[in-house]
Amino acid sequence: MQEQERGELLALLREIRDGQQQALDRQSQALELQRAQMELVRQQVERTERIQERAERLQDRGASMMRVARVATAIIIAVVLVLVIYLSWLLFR
């Protein structure tokens, strides 16, 4: 009977060992999947940063254009005002 119990015990230990090996294999696969997902997230973050930097540059350029447009508008209004005054002076002289 002791020989039979020993055989059963060995079979049980082998099953435990095989189960642990399967668990380790699954953990390894899960870890590899997580690494791949982290790499994807890292790439997405880098792409988002590049897009954000580009948007900031575009906003800066737009703000610069608006400053130039304001100055140009002020100059044009001043010139038109001077011309209107000159024309009025010519008409009522």
34-89 tens-digit pLDDT: 999 999 999 999 999 999 999 999 999 999 999 999 999 999 999 999 999 999 99
Give the Cα separation of 27 and 49 in Å (integer).
33
Across the range 14-40, mean pLDDT stands at: 96
Asked whether the predicted pLDDT for residue 14 surpasses 90, the reply is yes
Tokens found for residue 51 = 């897009």
Asked whether the predicted pLDDT for residue 4 surpasses 90, the reply is no
Asked whether the predicted pLDDT for residue 1 surpasses 70, the reply is no
Tokens found for residue 40 = 């994807």
